[in-house]
Amino acid sequence: MKELEDEAVVLRTYKSGESDRVCVLWTRHHGKLRVLAKGVRKTTSRMGGSLEPMGHVKVDLVKGRGDLWITKHVTHLERMTNLRSEYERIAAGLAVVEVVDAIPTDEAADEGIFEMLVRVLATLDNTEFHPELIAASFFFKLLAYDGSEPVVDFCVNCESRGPLVAFNAEVGGTLCANCRSGTAISADALGLIRRILGGDLAGVLRENNPPGSGEVMALAHEAIEVHFGKRLKVSRSTAPLAPHIETPFP
């Protein structure tokens, strides 16, 4: 019987049968796996508290039918009690795991994405950092990791240095006044995105609701949805709406 041990983050779960649960995991060495946790919904189960979304765990699995694995043993690696103590942190964490779950299932294991996922959850658990921009920053960093980093230093259409007044995820980033389409972007929001992608992420996250943060959240969600080609339920519900620019402009 085929077995494996790995480190994993729980992305989502759903009920199966009377007392079982199927858990979708992103693992360090084996990519995304679907795992059947037998009897986990019973009050006597020792695994139930470990297999919750955003859980960082070690799993021992045996191969089941099809693409399904079956849990033998699960242990917590990080409890992340601060993450689960505030609504804003929970909402951001759920948005993060939803986006990782949206990565196509045919992709091979990617340890880089796993490391990013563990780090962003640890950041949400660290009260030194404010939660409002953590998920948005993760989305931009994930795009950069994938080679789809949005252009934010010049107009993606004509390459003008500015002033840059709009952001359009469909065309790949910021636009000048002559080319603008998509969503208006303020200088504050543009500055935050540049800092997030340019190496000052920790500095941004230490600031409590900096000017432009609402715009950055909305633009990050737009960009990640365009990247995956679908709307994301949890991530969309955590982002404020940004004003949309009608085209053509006067």
Cα gap 26→75, rounded to integer Å? 15
Q: Determine whether domain 3-78 maps to CATH 2.40.50.140.
A: yes
Side chain identity at residue 64, one-letter code: G
What's the pLDDT score for residue 125?
95
Cα gap 158→161, rounded to integer Å? 9
Mean pLDDT over the full length of the chain: 87
What's the pLDDT score for residue 41?
65
Report residue 72's pLDDT band, with 50, 70 and 90 as the boundaries: confident
Residue extents of the structural domains in the chain: 3-78, 83-245
pLDDT at 246 over 60: no
Q: Determine whether domain 83-245 maps to CATH 3.40.50.300.
A: no
State the alpha helices, DSSP H only, in the chain: 87-101, 111-125, 134-145, 187-198, 201-205, 213-228, 233-237
Phi, psi angles (nearest 5°) of residue 148: -115, 30
The answer to whether 3-78 and 83-245 have equal CATH topology is no
> CB atoms < 10 A from the CB of 174, how many?
29
Cα gap 36→10, rounded to integer Å? 12
Q: What is the pLDDT of residues 6-30, one digit of tens each?
A: 999 999 998 777 778 889 999 999 9
Q: Which residues pair with 21 in a beta bridge?
A: 15, 37
Region of residue 143 (phi > 0: left; psi between -120 and 50: alpha; otherwise: beta): alpha
Q: Contact, 127 vs 147, CB < 8 A? A: no
Whether a cis peptide bond, with omega within 30° of 0, leads into 248 is: yes
Q: What is the pLDDT of residues 110-143, one digit of tens each?
A: 899 999 999 999 999 999 999 999 999 999 999 9
Q: Which three-class secondary structure state does DSSP give residue 47?
A: coil
Percent of the chain with pLDDT over 70: 87
Largest CA distance in the chain: 68
